[in-house]
A = this chain, B = another copy of it.
Amino acid sequence: MAKQTPAKQSYVPPLLDLFRQYGYDGVSLSKISEATGLGKASLYHHFPGGKDDMVETVLAALDQWLQDTAVDALAVEGDALTRLGRMGDRIQSAYSHGEKPCMLAALMLGSAKDDFQPQVQRMLQRWMGAIAAVLVASGMDETLAQERSEDALIAIQGALIMARALDDPAVFERTMQRLPEQLCG
C-alpha cells in the first residue's frame, strides 16, 4: 500500500510554486515546511538530498509535462496553427496566464545555475524540439523550424518576465495569442 512515488509527487505542486516564485536561494526549508505542511525532518525523509533533491524531483515532473505536451500537440488533428494553438493553451494554463514565473528561468539565477543549468538546457532544447516538430510536420524547412522554435521560447520567457515586471499578465496572454501565426508565417 505504501507507495513512495505518489507521495513524493504530491509535494511537487507546492514545491514548484515556491521555486518558481522565489528562486533557489530564496526558498528556505522553513518556507517549504510551511507550504507542504511537513516538518523539516519529514522533508528529509522524502528528499534525502535536501533542497537539491526537491528541485530534481520538480524538474523531473516538468520534464514529463513537456513530453506530454509534445505528444498532445502532435496528436491533435489539424494544421500546425491548430496544433500550436493547443500547445499554447497548455502553456498559458501552466503559467497561470502570465501570473506565475518560469522555474527554469528562476533556476538560472544564483548558486543554482552551476548545478542545474545543464538539465535546464536539455529541457528547453526538448521543448524547442517539440515546437519544431510541429512546424516540420506541416512542411517547414527543418533549419527554419529550429530557428522559429528558439524565437518562440525567447518570446515566452520574455513575456513572462515583462508581465511580472509590468504587473500586467495581459502582456503574456497577448504574446501567446500571436505566437502560432508568428511561427507559421
A-side residues, CB < 8 A to B, are: 21-26, 101, 104-106, 108-111, 113, 117, 120-121, 124-125, 150, 153-159, 161-162, 164-167, 171, 175
Contacts and interface: CB of A to CB of B under 8 A. Distances in A.
Contacts of A167: 117, 121
A155 B165 CA distance: 14
- Best-buried of A106, A121, A165 by chain B (most CB within 10 Å): A165
21 contacts: A21-B109, A21-B110, A22-B25, A22-B111, A23-B110, A25-B25, A25-B110, A26-B109, A26-B111, A104-B165, A105-B165, A109-B109, A113-B164, A117-B167, A121-B165, A124-B165, A125-B166, A154-B175, A155-B155, A155-B158, A158-B159
A164 B124 CA distance: 11
